Amino acid sequence: MVAVSKRSVMTLYSGATCPYSHRIRLVLAEKGITADIHHVPVDQVPEELAELNPYGSLPTLVDRDLALYDTRIIVEYLDERFPHPPLMPVDPVSRAKARLALHRIEQDWYTLLADLESGTRAAADRARKQLRESLIASDELFTVADFFLSEELSVMDCALVPLLWRLPRHGIDLGDDSPALVAYVERMFAREGFQLSLSDAERTMRG
Ligand SMILES: N[C@@H](CCC(=O)N[C@@H](CS)C(=O)NCC(=O)O)C(=O)O
């Protein structure tokens, strides 16, 4: 549990190994927002959460009378309520590009992660191969800037990094085939915000 700050009474219902919850914890840590973080089991959410969120899904953020679910909606709210540092670019074209990239990250990579986490053995094997190949094929994207397609940390990094942290857990080793991606991973994992975002269970996912 993280201490509650004077200006915030927010509560995050989080899954200790849930990549979507990890995205929110990363945004909180990078923005220096303190909140009560309650790790709850995904398959046995407390009654109070079921009353706040009709889907009973994690993550769920409660800020006074407001209960929010859906990772993207929570991230957008946090970015608007706590604007510094901003996680979205300012101009409309860059904002649209960031949203599109986020969509691709979720459609192309998070769907494969879902197969790895709870698919059949065959689906997980297919997803492992596809995710590895797709990440390696994207190596050039990680040469563009220090952060993903950006000079500053953004919502795209906050989505990508929790997924990348989980690769060894699912038997994915990028090897030497994607040097820019590997360098990006090292930079991002070394950030204080990232280290603070990890639950104890996530910390054990890598040695
Ligand atoms: N679309 C949701 C997906 C989140 C999600 O799949 N969370 C999982 C835990 S990692 C969950 O709560 N599963 C149980 C459920 O959806 O009822 C979001 O973006 O927040």
Cα–ligand 1 centroid distance for 57 (angstroms): 5
The CB of 55 under 6 Å from ligand 1? The reply is yes
Please indicate, yes or no, if residue 7 is contained in any of the structural domains. Answer: no
Per-residue model confidence (pLDDT) at position 8: 54
Residues of the chain with pLDDT under 50: 1-6
The CB of 178 under 6 Å from ligand 1? The reply is no
Mutate to test the pocket of ligand 1, among 13, 25, 57 (most ligand atoms within 8 A of CB): 57
What is the span of the domain harbouring residue 116? 92-191
Please indicate, yes or no, if residue 147 is contained in any of the structural domains. Answer: yes
Cα–ligand 1 centroid distance for 145 (angstroms): 31
Please indicate, yes or no, if residue 131 is contained in any of the structural domains. Answer: yes
Please indicate, yes or no, if residue 9 is contained in any of the structural domains. Answer: no
Please indicate, yes or no, if residue 152 is contained in any of the structural domains. Answer: yes
Per-residue model confidence (pLDDT) at position 7: 52
Cα–ligand 1 centroid distance for 140 (angstroms): 31
Please, are residues 31 and 43 in contact by the beta-carbon 8 Å criterion? Answer: no
- CATH code at 130? 1.20.1050.10
Please indicate, yes or no, if residue 169 is contained in any of the structural domains. Answer: yes
For residue 112, CA distances in Å to 49, 93, 160 come to: 27, 28, 13
Please indicate, yes or no, if residue 136 is contained in any of the structural domains. Answer: yes
Q: What is the number of structural domains in the chain? A: 1
Please indicate, yes or no, if residue 12 is contained in any of the structural domains. Answer: no
For residue 51, CA distances in Å to 24, 57, 61, 177 come to: 21, 11, 13, 47
Among 138, 142, 150, which Cα is nearest to 186's? 142
Cα–ligand 1 centroid distance for 180 (angstroms): 30
The CB of 112 under 6 Å from ligand 1? The reply is no
Q: Whose CA is nearest to atom 13 of ligand 1?
A: 57
